[in-house]
A and B are shown apart, each in its own frame.
Chain A
Amino acid sequence: EDQVTQSPEALRLQEGESSSLNCSYTVSGLRGLFWYRQDPGKGPEFLFTLYSAGEEKEKERLKATLTKKESFLHITAPKPEDSATYLCAVQALRNYQLIWGAGTKLIIKP
Chain B
Amino acid sequence: EAGVTQSPTHLIKTRGQQATLRCSPISGHTSVYWYQQALGLGLQFLLWYDEGEERNRGNFPPRFSGRQFPNYSSELNVNALELEDSALYLCASSSGRGQPQHFGDGTRLSIL
Contacts and interface: CB of A to CB of B under 8 A. Distances in A.
Contacts, number: 48
Given A43-B90, A95-B56, A100 B43 contact: yes
Contact of A87 (B43, B88, B108): B43
Interface residues of A, number: 22
A44 B103 contact: yes
Contacts of A32: 98
Do most interface residues of chain A lie in helix, strand or loop, or is the interface mixed?
strand
B101 A98 contact: yes
Contact of B103 (A41, A43, A95, A97): A43
A49 B56 contact: no
B97 A101 contact: no
A97 B4 contact: no
Interface of B: 4, 41-43, 45, 48, 55-56, 88, 90, 92, 97-98, 100-106, 108
Given A43-B4, A97-B48, 6 more contacts: A41-B105, A42-B105, A43-B104, A46-B100, A46-B101, A96-B98
